[in-house]
Amino acid sequence: MAFPDIRLRRLRRTAALRDLVRETELRPQRLIAPLFVASQGGEVEAMPGVSRLTISGALAAAERLAALGVGGVILFGIPDHKDAEGSGAWDDEGAVQLATQAIKAAVPALTVLTDVCLCEYTDHGHCGVVRDDGSIDNDASIELLARTAVSHARAGADVIAPSDMMDGRVGVIRAELDSEGFAEIPILAYAAKYASAFYGPFREAAGSTPAFGDRRTYQLDPANRREALRETELDIAEGADMVMVKPALAYLDVIAAVRAMTNLPLAAYNVSGEYAMVKAAVAMGAFDERAIVLETLTSIRRAGADMIITYHAEDAAQWLS
């Protein structure tokens, strides 16, 4: 059968029919809001509407997000002092640790994820330990990352999310969490994280632009999709409970491919540059913010992501309520 017997427009005739047959649902519970925590608050110029927050600012944001039904927050810390090893990352009194404690005490139902990486804490801005020749020492780095993960778990983090892209870090973090009494804390692995220009605004927010070189020896080549599947397979084999693709919009094919190869919950990170582009275009009057944001987030869900980390989370949750 074909036209005129078949008419697909029949099921688009009313809003109620369209609701009935909609394939992809977007709810605030699927969104995770990134929060930047520092000892000093302040605007992030490259990301209109996003600020660095103090502990009390982060707590206030967490309360607002929880009231809107947002699924969680992911915390990034900006330390007062950076050093070669990134020792601020595993400081039990660090911004992420203190904010985690404060949020879990005041809003226990809100899921707190913590980003585990060294780049915000190292004076060179790389995600691992730098050798004298400028290369990144993989195996030395993962010990420090595991120490950081345990510090976050001790502070009360619900989910540990390593974003460094060192080989073997998921397994080492899992073993370290287990031996420190955190066997029940899941790992969301940034499994397919690309060496992307879309992170530019984040690096302003976190002050984590590499002082030399780039991240291409540890993050994925944007040209590669099969390699993203290998990264994901390895993280799953090492014990990841959930996996992530990052960025999201220019990588919807990777989201769909990872969705097809695993039954694990899948996250996508709608990153800072994607957010900044939308904000800039809206400011130019190019389109309606609500419409463009909801369409964008729906597209990421349709590609296969169960949950989306997005700077639009609070606005989107308001629009969806």
Catalytically active residues, by annotation: 193, 246
Q: Read off the tokens for 111.
A: 């899921």
Q: Which two tokens stand for residue 235?
A: 């993280």
Residue 14 C-beta: closest distance to ligand PBG, Å: 39
| Residue 150 in the binding site for ligand PBG (CB under 6 A) | no
Give least dist CB 54 to ligand PBG, A. 20
Contact characters 298-317, ligand PBG, x per CB under 6 A: --------------------
Nearest in space to 97 (alpha carbons), one of 83, 112, 109, 82: 112
Spell out, one character per residue from 174 to 213, where the chain touches ligand PBG: x when CB under 6 A holds, - when not: -------------------------x--xx----x-----
Residue number with CB closer to ligand PBG (1 or 76) = 76
127 binds ligand PBG (CB under 6 A): yes
Q: From 11-19, 115-123, 143-151, 290-298, give the range in contact with ligand PBG by CB under 6 A.
A: 115-123
CB atoms within 10 A of CB 321: 10
Q: Is 271 in the site for ligand PBG (CB under 6 A)?
A: yes
What are the strands, taking DSSP E only, across 91-204? 111-116, 129-130, 136-137, 159-162, 188-193
111 makes contact with ligand PBG (CB under 6 A): no
Judged by beta carbon, residue 102 or residue 113, the one nearer ligand PBG is: 113
Minimum CB distance to ligand PBG smaller for 182 or for 199: 199
Shortest reach from residue 171's CB to ligand PBG, in Å: 19
CB of 229 vs ligand PBG, minimal distance in Å: 20
Residue 119 contacts ligand PBG per CB under 6 A = yes
User: To 5 degrees, how large is the angle CA 311–CA 292–CA 28?
Assistant: 50
Residue 251 sits in the site that holds ligand PBG (CB under 6 A)? no
Residue from 268, 240, 248 nearest 159 by CA: 240
Q: How many CB atoms lie within 10 A of CB 104?
A: 18
Residue of the chain from 107, 117, 264, 268 that contacts ligand PBG (CB under 6 A): 117
SS3 151: helix
Q: Helix, strand or coil for residue 83?
A: strand
Using only the alpha carbons of the chain, give its radius of gyration.
20
Please, are residues 286 and 262 in contact by the beta-carbon 8 Å criterion?
A: no
Which candidate, 167, 178, 154, places its Cα nearest to that of 220? 167
DSSP one-letter string for 26-48: --GGGEEEEEEEESS-EE-TTST
Q: Which is nearer to ligand PBG, 110 or 127 (CB)?
A: 127
Nearest to 85 by CA among 140, 163, 165: 140
Binding flags for ligand PBG, 68-107, as an x/- string (CB under 6 A)? ----------------------------------------
Instruction: Provide the binding-site residues for ligand PBG, judged by CB under 6 A.
Output: 115, 117, 119, 127, 163, 199, 202-203, 208, 271-272
